[in-house]
Amino acid sequence: MAGHSQFKNIMHRKGRQDAQRAKIFTKLIREITTAARLGAADPASNPRLRAAMIAAREANMTRDTIDRAIKRGTGNDADANYEEVRYEGYGPGGVAVIVEALTNNRNRTAGEVRSIFSKHGGNLGESNSVSFMFDRVGEFRYPLSAGTADEVLEKAIDAGADDVVSGEGEDAVHEIYGAQDAFSTVREALEKSLGQPSVAKLSWRPKTTTPAEGDTLKALLDMIAALDDNDDVQNVYANFEVSDDALAKFAA
């Protein structure tokens, strides 16, 4: 297990709650608004919007709130013109970190992200300073109820995907990965065989990982948690790996 998914699992074991409901909704609303602005307002013809709406419904967002976010994105509201930005740098222990954000104020967001890196012993770098350590891939997530690991693997391969990671436990999911340029083809095939994914997006998957344990692991997780807590930040990816022994010590 590596990267941001691992961070979520570790935080769950520690009993930490995800960001407050209002913060979760803020991020989802920004994604819905941006998806509607960049594409069609009809989720049937806008896969990004469709995925954002599914995530919003899973978070128990009301239909009225979702509709308002869509209307905001297709209207002339200047505050709805969120810009997609990416920040790259190193966290504690030399772990490579990629941060994706949606913002209507680049200077504010850059300053806040830089401050979080610095406060937790990291260093924000230049564009493309760490992205070469990751592959840009299509990522699709399905609940474990979608099928057994073998069943999902077979359907994913038939859809043209490259890899499947099936987790275990209460919050586990099937994670399916495919090539960036095959994103639309794989998505359409998966929707036919497995239904609508809870997540369908382009993400960053580390090519190699850096071990993290002890104080370094704590500092790294604190930094990722602070980034996650920022309203502008949508996704955080990191190339760290935690051994079972280190995980057991941390969760104790």
Domain 12-77 matching CATH 3.40.640.10: the answer reads no
Burial (CB < 10 A; 0-12, 13-18, 19+), residue 18, is middle
Domain boundaries, the chain: 12-77, 85-252
Q: Which fold has domain 85-252?
A: Alpha-Beta Plaits (3.30.70)
Give residue 247's pLDDT band: very low, low, confident or very high (50, 70, 90).
Answer: low
- Buried b / exposed e along 199-235 (16+ C-beta atoms within 10 A): bbbebbbbeebbebbeebbebbbbbbbbbbebbbbbb
12-77 shares its CATH topology with 85-252: no
Is 9's pLDDT higher than 80?
A: no
- Calpha distance 252→10 (Å, rounded): 11
Give me the pLDDT at residue 243, please: 76
Task: Tell me the per-residue pLDDT of 63-116, one tens digit each, with 9 for 90 and over.
Answer: 999 999 999 998 877 667 899 999 999 999 999 999 999 999 999 999 999 999
C-alpha span between 96 and 89 (Å, rounded): 6
pTM of the predicted structure, to 2 decimals: 0.85
